[in-house]
A and B are shown apart, each in its own frame.
Chain A
């Protein structure tokens, strides 16, 4: 998806500016698209060696299973590019789902969709203001947000004992129906996210902010506003993902979403976005999400007989390996 990183190949560009050296381009590509490369490699190897992997049904279940949670990683990409972090998305995701189920039960489609968006957006706004205006550390602010959103969820679901069910005849159900809707929604949002990041002033401001906040301020960028908005965006996306997921499950599951923020961060980092901010891409995040999903799928098939502890172990080792390769590539690039 949205690979807008390099577009100078056209005739106009060829006329004037000197082009990058071949080596410069290759190493740059390796760092930015390392996640994509590893993804392709793993998919090819798995298709050859793992029975039943290369199957339309299997692919579809991987994509559908991760379509909505991938939106958490999308929002996280924006936040991490500014040099921040959003730990609240897992809780907000769960809260969004419960609110959507409750809303669709009492007010149909509109309420079922708008209520979670409004609440999650508001949580994001408060977090953003605390980070940008009160200058608190994003880690602490969103950790508080994680606890708050989870607490709110417990409060409206009687300590998690009440599970609101989406009415089967509600138009809301259609949002999670089948394979096409979830996959399509995710693809469209990722493409829009890519355009937002690389082709708008807001997106450029995110990079500038993460690259050097002081310089961004002195260059006259709207630092406070951008910082606030990025948390609103992340929160809203998490709420939307929760709502859509509830439509798919046809209920507001209360114990969902624990630790999803960490999976999202892992996907973003695997996708080549620097945790220190200032560099990253939506395409990379997409690759990161898919890579983690494929690994999860493979572990589920081959290691399930050893239980979930084995899959967690393998996941941990794999994440460390990917990040190691990533950093090595990034360093090699910096040296060249």
Chain B
């Protein structure tokens, strides 16, 4: 019964047929097929950049398709706006709750469909109904309270209740559990099952494998803007799921020579950075990592596993509920980026456009920005020193720009990344945290950045590497710490740093120490 394509397309409530969507420079969707039946919970999975979000936005009218068509109940539809999609019965619950925090719970629930008489809203009736409806979702609050006074879980429930209220036949949930407590997840699952039994189709997007196996009936796996697999959820085992998401053949786990990394480094001495039991609600659960001089430590894990959060926590950019970071044996007294930078820990953020470069400033200015306090005397910038530093890194990192005076915004992605590296390197850091350092840069520049990372480690820098590119992670790292749902699930060293071992850890690693959990797999 588990055929790859549904036998009868007429029974699909939502049917996406060979849809393509491009943005300047990117083909986000290439002929994607995606079908959802009434009364099923359908998992939509894929790594970052697989095209899930774009697909959702196409279906909900935020984007319009370039090619292909979307059918609802067998009829082709073309939504011009989220409003049109909603009117047709497609509701979406976004990852970050999209309600109005200052408005009351009841008003959020009924916004734009308030019960009214002669155009005047019947607020008593609205409050009464809101209270009744929300009780069905396990939320027992005064509906007059402003939404922001509720917990995130309750807010999420209001969003779901709202989505379902509008006679939805397809409800799309994008990472609905990312901010929920275990108890709230249970309530959510109860609600989902109830909706499913009412014949509503649910598209469930999540990276938490346990949840997928618990709640989903079928699964569509996307990669690089294409649909790569459609099946019954129970017929895909975890390892297979991961392999399909990451695009690795199960039998071909041994890979070699695809990246510019050299062999492993000689690791010597005491850790320069010791992160001890970093903790933050919903994001990190007692993560401990040591970084030694000359060593590249990879952070493995799927999207949302806490990789970037770990790096940001060590760099002082993520507020913590608990845990400590020590550099050179001295604990950082204040948890801030300034303190981390002073101690010699610097981070290259994932999104260099928004978090890093200043496109309208020159290469020179971008490089010396962080070093300004050091090369200034009495508040005045020492021009000679500045030129010296810039020239050195310009050569050292082989930055390809017409001159140090060129605007950074005009450089290629790879060279922007090198400018960012230079900015931090001129501070003489002890540890370098790299979050997706080669994302979005071309192949040649990628290899250059990779060999730079290698050289820097050889010179005694402690490096932490986050990468969604498995080859890069495996060949670049001397050791890989594998994270899942904010917890460390495995540590791979020596020969164990291999694709097979990493994928097994990603699939099998059990983040909750108490639950037995064998039943689902």
Which chain B positions have C-beta within 8 A of A208?
100, 103, 111
Number of interface residues of B (CB under 8 A): 35
Q: Is the CB of A222 within 8 A of B83?
A: yes
Q: Is the CB of B131 within 8 A of A218?
A: no
Besides the contacts A4-B123, A8-B124, A215-B100, what 13 more A-B pairs have beta carbons closer than 8 Å?
A6-B144, A10-B124, A16-B132, A17-B128, A17-B143, A201-B119, A205-B111, A219-B82, A219-B98, A220-B81, A220-B87, A221-B111, A222-B83
Which among B102, B116, B123 has the greatest number of chain A C-beta atoms within 10 A? Answer: B102
- CA of A218 to CA of B56, assembled, Å: 13
B514 on the A face (CB < 8 A): no
User: Beyond A17-B144, A19-B142, is A217–B120 a contact (Cβ under 8 Å)?
Assistant: no
Closest 9 pairs between A and B when the two form their complex, measured CB to CB: A211-B100, A220-B83, A215-B98, A278-B102, A220-B86, A17-B131, A199-B121, A211-B102, A218-B98
- CA of A65 to CA of B127, assembled, Å: 40
- CA of A222 to CA of B80, assembled, Å: 13
Nearest chain A residue, comparing its CB with the CB of B60 = A218
Residues of A whose CB lies within 8 Å of any CB of B are: 4, 6-8, 10, 12-13, 16-20, 195, 198-201, 204-205, 207-208, 211-212, 214-222, 278-279
User: Beyond A18-B142, A211-B100, is A204–B112 a contact (Cβ under 8 Å)?
Assistant: yes
CB-defined interface of B126-151 with A at 8 Å, one 1/0 digit per residue?
A: 01100110000000111111000000
User: Beyond A7-B123, A10-B124, A12-B128, is A212–B114 a contact (Cβ under 8 Å)?
Assistant: no
- CA of A217 to CA of B112, assembled, Å: 11
Q: Label chain B's interface by main secondary structure.
A: loop
Nearest chain B residue, comparing its CB with the CB of A210 = B102
Which chain B positions have C-beta within 8 A of A20?
142, 144-145
Which chain A positions have C-beta within 8 A of B140?
18
User: Beyond A200-B121, A221-B111, is A212–B100 a contact (Cβ under 8 Å)?
Assistant: yes
- CA of A282 to CA of B52, assembled, Å: 44
Q: Is the CB of B127 within 8 A of A8?
A: yes
Selected from B81, B98, B116, the residue in CB contact (under 8 A) with A214 is: B98
Which chain B positions have C-beta within 8 A of A7?
123-124
B101 on the A face (CB < 8 A): yes
- CA of A201 to CA of B103, assembled, Å: 13
User: Beyond A13-B124, A13-B128, A16-B131, is A207–B82 a contact (Cβ under 8 Å)?
Assistant: no
Q: Is the CB of B112 within 8 A of A201?
A: yes
Instruction: Identify 9 residue pairs between A and B in the complex whose beta-carbon atoms are under 8 Å apart, listed by A's number.
Output: A8-B127, A8-B144, A10-B124, A17-B131, A204-B111, A211-B100, A215-B100, A219-B82, A278-B103
User: Beyond A20-B144, A201-B121, is A220–B112 a contact (Cβ under 8 Å)?
Assistant: yes
Which chain B positions have C-beta within 8 A of A215?
98-100
- CA of A29 to CA of B447, assembled, Å: 62
> B53 to chain A: closest CB distance in Å?
13
Which chain A positions have C-beta within 8 A of B132?
16
> A186 to chain B: closest CB distance in Å?
22
* B289-346 interface with A by 8 A CB criterion: none
Which chain A positions have C-beta within 8 A of B119?
200-201
Q: Is the CB of A220 within 8 A of B128?
A: no
- CA of A201 to CA of B116, assembled, Å: 9
Which among B92, B121, B131, B140 has the greatest number of chain A C-beta atoms within 10 A? Answer: B121
Q: Is the CB of B102 within 8 A of A16?
A: no
- CA of A206 to CA of B419, assembled, Å: 45
- CA of A335 to CA of B301, assembled, Å: 38
Which chain B positions have C-beta within 8 A of A217?
82
- CA of A20 to CA of B111, assembled, Å: 22
- CA of A212 to CA of B108, assembled, Å: 12
Which chain B positions have C-beta within 8 A of A6?
144
> A10 to chain B: closest CB distance in Å?
7
- CA of A218 to CA of B93, assembled, Å: 10
Q: Is the CB of A219 within 8 A of B99?
A: yes
- CA of A195 to CA of B117, assembled, Å: 13
B279 on the A face (CB < 8 A): no
Q: Is the CB of B144 within 8 A of A278?
A: no
B274 on the A face (CB < 8 A): no
- CA of A4 to CA of B116, assembled, Å: 16
* B88-106 interface with A by 8 A CB criterion: 92, 94, 98-103
Which among B87, B111, B116, B132 has the greatest number of chain A C-beta atoms within 10 A? Answer: B111
- CA of A6 to CA of B104, assembled, Å: 12
User: Beyond A199-B123, A278-B100, is A220–B107 a contact (Cβ under 8 Å)?
Assistant: no
- CA of A282 to CA of B262, assembled, Å: 70
- CA of A278 to CA of B100, assembled, Å: 8
> A255 to chain B: closest CB distance in Å?
40
Q: Is the CB of B112 within 8 A of A221?
A: yes
Q: Is the CB of B128 within 8 A of A16?
A: yes
> B32 to chain A: closest CB distance in Å?
22
Which chain A positions have C-beta within 8 A of B123?
4, 7, 198-199
Q: Is the CB of A220 within 8 A of B82?
A: yes
- CA of A218 to CA of B141, assembled, Å: 25
Which among A17, A205, A221, A222 has the greatest number of chain B C-beta atoms within 10 A? Answer: A17
> B95 to chain A: closest CB distance in Å?
12
- CA of A187 to CA of B263, assembled, Å: 82
Which chain A positions have C-beta within 8 A of B120?
195, 199-200
> B56 to chain A: closest CB distance in Å?
11
Q: Is the CB of A204 within 8 A of B121?
A: yes
Nearest chain B residue, comparing its CB with the CB of A221 = B112
Which chain A positions have C-beta within 8 A of B82?
217-220
* B15-45 interface with A by 8 A CB criterion: none
